[in-house]
Chains A and B, each alone.
Chain A
Amino acid sequence: MTAFPTYDAAAIAALNNQANAILKLFAARGYVREEPAILQPADIFLDRSGEEIRRRTFTLTDPSGRELCLRPDLTIPICRHAVETNAKFPARLCYNGLAFRHQPGEPNRPTQFFQAGAELLGLEDRAAGETEILSLTIEALRACGLSDFSLRIGDLSLFGALVDALALPAQWRSRLKRHFWRAGYVESLLYWLGHGDGAPKLPGTRTEIEALLDRQGDAPAAGRTREEIIARAMDRAAEAAALRLDPGLADAIAKLLDISGPAEESLARIRALLKTAGIALEPQLAAAESRLAALKALGVERMQFTAHFGRNMEYYTGLVFELWARDKEGPVQVAGGGRYDSLMEMLGAGRPVSAIGCAIRTERVLAARAAGGG
């Protein structure tokens, strides 16, 4: 592998053939091709994905001082364009092009790679949308001539629903959801909730907090309203009093996060665990199970469900998935995607828009085929 690859004639032809096969399939399913600019305003990525993405993004400043970047993905420019042009929903959009990522600490990994992907925006029937995108991804890999791959899925909404079912203060629920993907940290939060001795005591009445605020003289509001601060200070004081989770329940959740294995078996274990803990999450479980049935019908044999599988910085909110194959060096992720229901609104859509998409790493698909995965 090299950071700055040069493609020879054979590689270009092979990549183009693959891309054409994928784009032909996308077009047949009603996905319209778009090509966003390679150079993008850095703001849209930093504001949506957070500072972490900067470590992996090539940013530059234009002569007028505006901060630009080489697109680290194509999903955000495509969604932003859909928002700006008031796209009609449901919208089915697709692309094939280069994305650019700095690879910290790995000087020999390519900093640019081809991605072919599809975005399904504004389809209200969530289950149908998820099945559509999962099938599309699997069929696209097959259209490239790759048949030997496995699927890894997770569902952020399952954990979200579980946390919402707990008798915990709102801030703690949001904290648990936010840190869902940090292996180890959520478990330590849960342990603390179940076994700790509660948070420090704070002044909690509105009068006390207002008096405290009035004493701050000329200190700047710094982007937050007085009401915003009072509300959070009161919540924080209230949560200190309410903060206690049945240790059995906390342990059950930690155990649930540990579940990983063949998909059917994993879901059965989650179902059993929730039943014992007395938490009802029937709609979420039923959705996960029917998704599994649909995938089985597509002939995907190797499916893993990992309860703590979610991905940082890539704005996912529900289903997440990765497809894995092998190249000559070992396992390699050839495609991935998921649901990102909050992104369109963050980009200015004015209301939440159901959204789900996938991206295929075509160079890796090529390498996996070359290694005999065809």
Chain B
Amino acid sequence: MLTLAIPSKGRLKDNCNAWFAERGVILEQTAGARGYRASIAGLPELDVMLLSAGEIAAALLAGDIHLGITGEDLLREEAPELAGRMHLVKPLGFGFADVVVAVSQYWVDVASMADLDDVCAAYAVRHRRRLRVATKYPQLTRSFFAQARIADYRIVPSAGATEGAPAAGTAEVIVDITTTGATLRDNGLKLLEDGVILKSQAQLAASLTAEWDSEARATARTLLARLDTGAPLYAALAEQLPK
């Protein structure tokens, strides 16, 4: 059996269904099981599960599913080192979003990460604590700040509405996802000029730690050939799989 997880709700789900439909692949929601299972005609050895985007990233990392469709931001947050754990099969051309560093527009002296570095250091001296960065992406933030050579800050985990943290006083800076920047602007925030951490979109990804028996491989070969006749998707995946 090959397992494929697709998003269970929202725009990501609709885009996903449309993407399959464009390729002549129709997902049929299975009755029972409360609609969280689906199948594809002609592929009886394929089990399609509907999960939340975050669960799909975690399940791919854990090796609980073979294939999954979710945001690249979630994949990279879940597994900072993709090598050996996940293979990105194909970017899907929807679900575009950037993970960015944003500060208050009131900080007129801050335009770049180098400025933020100065402000972080001065803040630590002046306030005797580190400047706080609110985010749902602690891993991505940590490695990006390390690259930008910023050390004087700390991450505060954000459960939702990260863009409100600076106004609420729970953090001074945020790392969040944005598509048009409108939400940031509405909250009096601006993007730093070199503050794009990741340009993300929906990805079809494969777990390299799942159990890839010969049946799963054969089904994946058939499925991927149907999803993209032009590209050798399965061949590229097979190279990454254990022999």
Pair A217/B154 contact, Cβ less than 8 Å:
no
Return chain B residues, CB-CB under 8 Å to A229: 106-109
Question: Whole-angstrom distance between the alpha carbons of A312 and B167 in the complex?
Answer: 32
Interface residues as binary, A167-203 with B (CB distance below 8 Å gives 1, 0 otherwise): 0000100110011001001000000000000000000
Q: A223-B127, A346-B128 are in contact. Are A233 and B108 (CB under 8 A)?
A: yes
Chain B CB within 10 A, most for which of A54, A178, A185, A217? A178
Q: A51-B130, A51-B154, A54-B155 are in contact. Are A223 and B109 (CB under 8 A)?
A: no
Pair B172/A219 contact, Cβ less than 8 Å:
no
Interface residues as binary, B94-128 with A (CB distance below 8 Å gives 1, 0 otherwise): 00000000011111110000010111011100111
Pair A50/B172 contact, Cβ less than 8 Å:
no
Q: Is B4 among interface residues, defined by CB-CB distance under 8 A?
A: no
Return chain B residues, CB-CB under 8 Å to A175: 117-118, 121
Pair A216/B118 contact, Cβ less than 8 Å:
no
Q: Is B11 among interface residues, defined by CB-CB distance under 8 A?
A: no
Pair A50/B106 contact, Cβ less than 8 Å:
no
Pair B109/A232 contact, Cβ less than 8 Å:
yes
- CB within 8 A of A232: which of B104, B117, B119, B128? B119
Question: Whole-angstrom distance between the alpha carbons of A217 and B172 in the complex?
Answer: 17
Shortest distance between the CB of A214 and any CB in chain B (Å): 10
Question: Whole-angstrom distance between the alpha carbons of A348 and B106 in the complex?
Answer: 30
Question: Whole-angstrom distance between the alpha carbons of A232 and B149 in the complex?
Answer: 20
Pair A47/B129 contact, Cβ less than 8 Å:
yes
Return chain A residues, CB-CB under 8 Å to B154: 46-47, 50-51, 54
Return chain B residues, CB-CB under 8 Å to A313: 151
Question: Whole-angstrom distance between the alpha carbons of A216 and B105 in the complex?
Answer: 6
Question: Whole-angstrom distance between the alpha carbons of A216 and B167 in the complex?
Answer: 14
- CB within 8 A of A217: which of B107, B115, B131, B188? B188
Question: Whole-angstrom distance between the alpha carbons of A182 and B147 in the complex?
Answer: 12
Pair B118/A220 contact, Cβ less than 8 Å:
no
- CB within 8 A of B104: which of A185, A209, A221? A221
Return chain A residues, CB-CB under 8 Å to B127: 223
Interface residues as binary, A139-178 with B (CB distance below 8 Å gives 1, 0 otherwise): 0000000000000000000000000000000010011001
Q: Is A88 among interface residues, defined by CB-CB distance under 8 A?
A: no
Question: Whole-angstrom distance between the alpha carbons of A223 and B132 in the complex?
Answer: 10
Chain A: how many interface residues by the 8 Å CB criterion?
Answer: 36
Question: Whole-angstrom distance between the alpha carbons of A34 and B187 in the complex?
Answer: 49
Q: Is A62 among interface residues, defined by CB-CB distance under 8 A?
A: no
Question: Whole-angstrom distance between the alpha carbons of A224 and B142 in the complex?
Answer: 23
Shortest distance between the CB of A229 and any CB in chain B (Å): 6
- CB within 8 A of B146: which of A52, A209, A218, A222? A52
Pair B109/A47 contact, Cβ less than 8 Å:
no
Pair B123/A223 contact, Cβ less than 8 Å:
yes
Pair A312/B119 contact, Cβ less than 8 Å:
no
Return chain B residues, CB-CB under 8 Å to A219: 104-106, 188-189
**Chain B: CB-nearest residue to A313:** B151
Shortest distance between the CB of A123 and any CB in chain B (Å): 23
Return chain A residues, CB-CB under 8 Å to B106: 213, 216, 219-222, 224, 229
Return chain A residues, CB-CB under 8 Å to B166: 220, 222-223
**Chain A: CB-nearest residue to B152:** A50
Interface residues as binary, B160-193 with A (CB distance below 8 Å gives 1, 0 otherwise): 0000001101001100000000000001110000
Pair B149/A179 contact, Cβ less than 8 Å:
yes
Q: A220-B166, A223-B127 are in contact. Are A232 and B188 (CB under 8 A)?
A: no
Q: Is B137 among interface residues, defined by CB-CB distance under 8 A?
A: no
Q: Is B212 among interface residues, defined by CB-CB distance under 8 A?
A: no
Q: Is B19 among interface residues, defined by CB-CB distance under 8 A?
A: no
Shortest distance between the CB of B86 and any CB in chain A (Å): 18
**Chain A: CB-nearest residue to B103:** A222
Pair B153/A50 contact, Cβ less than 8 Å:
yes
Shortest distance between the CB of B231 and any CB in chain A (Å): 33
Question: Whole-angstrom distance between the alpha carbons of A178 and B150 in the complex?
Answer: 10
Return chain A residues, CB-CB under 8 Å to B129: 47
Instruction: List residues 293-334 of chain A with CB under 8 A from any CB of chain B.
Output: 312-313
Pair A220/B104 contact, Cβ less than 8 Å:
yes
Return chain B residues, CB-CB under 8 Å to A52: 142, 146, 151
Q: Is B36 among interface residues, defined by CB-CB distance under 8 A?
A: no
Q: Is A286 among interface residues, defined by CB-CB distance under 8 A?
A: no
Which residue numbers of A lie inside 8 Å of B, CB to CB?
Answer: 46-47, 50-52, 54-55, 171, 174-175, 178-179, 182, 185, 209, 212-213, 216-224, 228-229, 232-233, 236, 312-313, 345-346, 348
Sample of 5 A–B contacts (CB below 8 Å): A51-B130, A219-B104, A222-B104, A223-B172, A232-B119
Closest 4 CB pairs of A and B: A219-B188, A233-B109, A219-B105, A222-B166
Which residue numbers of B lie inside 8 Å of A, CB to CB?
Answer: 103-109, 115, 117-119, 121-123, 126-132, 142, 145-146, 149, 151-155, 166-167, 169, 172-173, 187-189
